[in-house]
Amino acid sequence: MINDWKRDGRRSRVTEVNELLTTAEMAEADRLAIALGIPGIELMENAGRAVAAAALPLARGTEVLVMCGPGNNGGDGFVAARHLAAAGRKVRVMLLGEVGRLRGDAAVMAARWDGDVHLLGPDVPGAAGVVVDALFGAGLSKPVDGAAAAAIEAVNRSGLPVVAVDVPTGLDGSSGQVRGIAVRATRTVTFFRLKPGHLLMPGRDLCGEVRLADIGIPGSVLDDIRPSAFANRREIWAGRLCLGRRDIHKYDRGHVLVVGGDQWNTGAARLAARAALRAGAGLVTVASPTAALPVYASHLTSVMLRDGEGVEGVKAALADPRRNAVVIGPAAGVGDATRDKVCAVLAAGRSAVLDADALTSFEASPEQLFGAILSDRARPVVMTPHEGEFRRLFGSVVDMDADKLARARAAARLSGAVVLLKGTDTIVAAPDGKAWINDNAPEWLATAGSGDVLAGIVAALLARGLPAPLAAAAAAWLHGAAALRAGPGLIAEDLPEAIPSVLRELRN
Ligand SMILES: NC(=O)C1=CN([C@@H]2O[C@H](COP(=O)(O)OP(=O)(O)OC[C@H]3O[C@@H](n4cnc5c(N)ncnc54)[C@H](O)[C@@H]3O)[C@@H](O)[C@H]2O)[C@@H](O)CC1
Ligand SMILES: [K+]
């Protein structure tokens, strides 16, 4: 949970705290700040002080073990140790390596620590009641092994509270992946901006509660760095949800067309349709195979229904230009028929949400789908795969060993679509490389039909005219927020009904 969004006061855009920096971008921010005349030693002092402040409440009447590494993460650890000792805590510092080998700011901060420095060894965690993990941070360059790995294992086994400096050691801040072994932290204090690894899994779980500290790096350095990853926060898109005028006709709010499944598979389209209506589409129509019309008719009220038999039926439904956004895929069936319908939807130039079977139907011919999308780059397309669908569509063209953020970005670049890759850490990636990481989905959102609801919300926001990346990001967030409202025990039918109270709160 991110509980402390500090604004650095020097720039006023609220959204800037949404920016996520890779470890390389963070090092660049550090370098630019120093070039602007802010001494590195001052940044380190501020960082270490923030770590001490986070550790202090956990360290009542107990010894604090500060584990320091050979770089600047260790330097932050020496500063934290000094502040904790000054606050009256008993502090034991253990260093991976020798003090004489420390360089730069870390060496200066080690010299300012006037207590003992022990070699990091098998006696971890010793008598400590709290651990500060300052072994490796942004400079992690290979899998953790040897004495550092043994110390991490012992600390994790101890169950003691751990305050991690910047990232839990062993966690790659850019990818959220573990390299070798990683510390399981209670609290993580990071600086200036979060990194993708604080939000991506398993990193988010390893960080515990994340605190963001302002250490004096001016926000203006971001003008040079131009970050391309963002935490998916409401400030990014909330202003676009409201049409901003009162004389609204229902057609101003868009008309979503949901391509429905056969008579045995109507639930998915009905969930998507209801969610689209709840998320603010002015009108929603289900286009149904002829034989399924009675089933849909008996279940739909405010959602409209029309015949959509075969590819010709879908084309006929698309003849009305006011139907400006289409959902296709939920329970559509895998095969030629769905492939043809997807191609018809794309050829019609409507905003499109491709989900489930609309993706799997192109397993053997992904290039056909990408070609159809890329033939008209102005037409917004959002794909909403879960990991299995992603693998089926992109497994032969994207490096599946890469981390989730990299995979989603590669898929968006290749396909020309906005890719919303679902999961606890849903990622929205745009073809230009920008990406948003969502972190508000509770575990009970993993339930049958919840993906159909998400597809409907995305379509509603596309129909209302949000740009595709923002429609996808807003939908992922609304979906998570609705699930939080509904609470444990949630079934997919509850999600559309929870959307109004989420929208009401956003409006307020
Ligand atoms: N803006 C910034 O960049 C700031 C950075 N600060 C701190 O500086 C840290 C980054 O410092 P560094 O770049 O020195 O990097 P680290 O201190 O994270 O680690 C680098 C050192 O560890 C060694 N190392 C890396 N991976 C290893 C492994 N698996 N096994 C053994 N040795 C390994 C490297 O050879 C190098 O000596 C940040 O995480 C943060 O804590 C803060 O002091 C404040 C400002
Ligand atoms: K660390």
pLDDT along the chain (508 residues), means of 10: 33 57 97 97 98 96 96 98 97 97 98 98 94 98 98 98 98 98 98 98 98 96 97 94 74 92 97 98 97 97 97 97 97 97 97 98 98 96 98 98 98 98 98 98 96 98 97 98 98 98 92
Residues 399 and 348 in one domain: yes
Q: Is 77 a pocket residue for ligand 1 (Cβ < 6 Å)?
A: no
Distance 113 CA to ligand 2 centre (A): 19
Residues 220 and 252 in one domain: no
Instruction: Give the max Cα distance, the chain.
Output: 82
pLDDT in tens, 415-432: 999 999 999 999 999 999
Residues 208 and 275 in one domain: no
Q: Is 32 a pocket residue for ligand 1 (Cβ < 6 Å)?
A: no
Residues 170 and 70 in one domain: yes
Look at ligand 1, atom 44, and give the residue with the nearest C-alpha.
44
Question: What pLDDT shows up at residue 241?
Answer: 86
Specify if 146 maps to a domain.
Answer: yes
Look at ligand 1, atom 11, and give the residue with the nearest C-alpha.
72
Report which DSSP code applies to 105.
H
Distance 325 CA to ligand 2 centre (A): 46
ipTM > 0.85 for the complex: yes
| CB 332, CB 305: distance < 8 Å | no
Cα–Cα dist 289/14, whole Å = 48
Look at ligand 1, atom 21, and give the residue with the nearest C-alpha.
71
Q: CATH code at 412?
A: 3.40.1190.20
- Which one of 140, 167, 194, 221 would you pick to mutate in the ligand 1 pocket, going by the greatest count of ligand atoms within 8 A of its CB? 140
Specify if 223 maps to a domain.
Answer: yes
Residues 273 and 391 in one domain: yes
Specify if 242 maps to a domain.
Answer: no
Cα–Cα dist 465/252, whole Å = 9
Residues 220 and 298 in one domain: no
Q: Is 191 a pocket residue for ligand 1 (Cβ < 6 Å)?
A: yes
Residues 322 and 209 in one domain: no
Q: Edge-to-edge strands of the sheet including 19-20? A: 19-20, 229-231, 435-437, 427-429, 418-421, 381-383, 351-354, 323-328, 255-259, 283-288, 304-307
Distances (CA, A) of 16 to 12, 19, 489: 8, 6, 36
Q: Which of 205, 231, 257 is the last residue of a domain?
A: 231
Specify if 243 maps to a domain.
Answer: no
Q: Which of 166, 200, 231 is the last residue of a domain?
A: 231
Cα–Cα dist 275/479, whole Å = 10
Cα–Cα dist 6/166, whole Å = 15
Could you give the residue ranges of the DSSP H alpha helices within 177-278?
A: 203-207, 222-225, 238-241, 267-278
Q: CATH code at 195?
A: 3.40.50.10260
Specify if 463 maps to a domain.
Answer: yes
Cα–Cα dist 244/254, whole Å = 15
Tokens of 290: 């002829």
- How many structural domains compose the chain? 2
Distance 72 CA to ligand 2 centre (A): 10
Question: What pLDDT shows up at residue 10?
Answer: 32
Burial per residue of 179-192, b for 16 or more beta-carbon CB atoms within 10 angstroms, e otherwise? bebbbbbbbbbbbb
Q: Which residue type does 14 have? A: V
**pTM passes above 0.90:** yes
Specify if 2 maps to a domain.
Answer: no
Q: Is 173 a pocket residue for ligand 1 (Cβ < 6 Å)?
A: no
- Is it true that the peptide bond before 125 is cis, omega within 30 degrees of 0? yes
Which-ligand-closest: CA of 149?
1
Residues 332 and 466 in one domain: yes
Question: What pLDDT shows up at residue 243?
Answer: 67
Instruction: Identify the domain containing residue 428 by its residue range.
Output: 248-507
Question: What pLDDT shows up at residue 11?
Answer: 32
Question: What pLDDT shows up at residue 17?
Answer: 77
Residues 478 and 364 in one domain: yes
Q: Which of 184, 204, 231 is the last residue of a domain?
A: 231
Q: Is 165 a pocket residue for ligand 1 (Cβ < 6 Å)?
A: yes
Residues 182 and 275 in one domain: no
Q: Is 27 a pocket residue for ligand 1 (Cβ < 6 Å)?
A: yes
Tokens of 256: 């979503």
Q: Is 73 a pocket residue for ligand 1 (Cβ < 6 Å)?
A: yes
- Which one of 72, 166, 225 would you pick to mutate in the ligand 1 pocket, going by the greatest count of ligand atoms within 8 A of its CB? 72
Residues 313 and 416 in one domain: yes
Specify if 124 maps to a domain.
Answer: yes
Specify if 344 maps to a domain.
Answer: yes
Residues 184 and 258 in one domain: no
